[in-house]
């Protein structure tokens, strides 16, 4: 566990070297690695025992990265971003080829958000690269709200835990796919959206 004053710096170094850490978000702890590093992403799938057919969502530091990673930002997405980011709303966009195929599960799509958790946001800002944001659990198991709840198998495989105390829990982020028309809510979650008034 990272307890030193420079814990963000140490976590950043680990991720830059292809490592994987657990870190807090608005809802649960996530597993973070460099989303542009295909080898690190593959290791993340293996640690979670996640099916390779399920894409991994990411956090980005700022909207400049959104433009780099997506083929287009539809008007609805712009409105959702203005209303709900930073926060627990994940938006699915058409992905550029900057992102590894295994991250997107070869779907051509990428799920993105900007976090409102100060520690998660600081981490990704210092990194200045997209960070994986899948929950820090084994596939199909409940996501953890604190380091003590992280499964021993996960703890044994990751490189560090960025301890931010207990997170809010509750519902995970809402996921909406704006690559289809009409847009589709893939998961009802922490952000309540009513689509009709928005388009």
Residues 190, 124: Cα–Cα separation, whole Å: 21
Is 82 exposed, middle or buried, given 0-12, 13-18 or 19+ CB atoms closer than 10 A?
A: exposed
Residues 166, 186: Cα–Cα separation, whole Å: 27
Which residues, other chains included, contact 148 with Cβ-Cβ below 8 Å and sequence gap of 6+? none
Question: What are the extents of the domains in the chain?
Answer: 7-198
The pLDDT value given to residue 42: 98
Residues 56, 79: Cα–Cα separation, whole Å: 24
The pLDDT value given to residue 198: 45
The pLDDT value given to residue 115: 97
Residues 197, 191: Cα–Cα separation, whole Å: 16
Query: Which residue ranges in the chain fall short of pLDDT 50?
Result: 1-5, 198-199
The pLDDT value given to residue 196: 53
The pLDDT value given to residue 5: 46
Q: Which CATH class name applies to 7-198?
A: alpha beta
**What is the value of pTM for the model shown?**
0.93
């Amino acid at each position: 566990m990272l307890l030193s004053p420079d814990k963000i710096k140490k976590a950043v170094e680990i991720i830059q070297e292809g490592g994987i850490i657990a870190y807090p978000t608005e809802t649960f702890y996530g597993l973070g690695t460099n989303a542009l590093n295909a080898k690190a992403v593959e290791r993340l799938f293996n640690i979670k025992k996640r099916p390779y057919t399920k894409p991994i969502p990411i956090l980005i530091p700022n909207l400049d990265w959104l433009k780099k990673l997506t083929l287009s930002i539809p008007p609805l997405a712009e409105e959702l971003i203005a209303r709900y980011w930073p926060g627990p709303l994940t938006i699915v966009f058409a992905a550029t080829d900057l992102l590894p195929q295994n991250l997107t599960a070869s779907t051509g799509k990428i799920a993105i958000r900007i976090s409102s958790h100060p520690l998660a946001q600081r981490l990704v800002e210092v990194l200045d690269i997209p960070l994986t944001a899948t929950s820090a659990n084994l596939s199909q198991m409940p996501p953890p709200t604190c380091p003590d709840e992280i499964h021993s198998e996960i703890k044994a495989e990751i490189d560090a835990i960025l301890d931010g105390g207990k997170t809010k829990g509750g519902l995970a982020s809402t996921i909406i796919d704006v690559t289809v028309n009409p847009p589709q809510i893939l998961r009802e979650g922490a952000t309540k959206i009513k689509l009709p008034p928005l388009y």
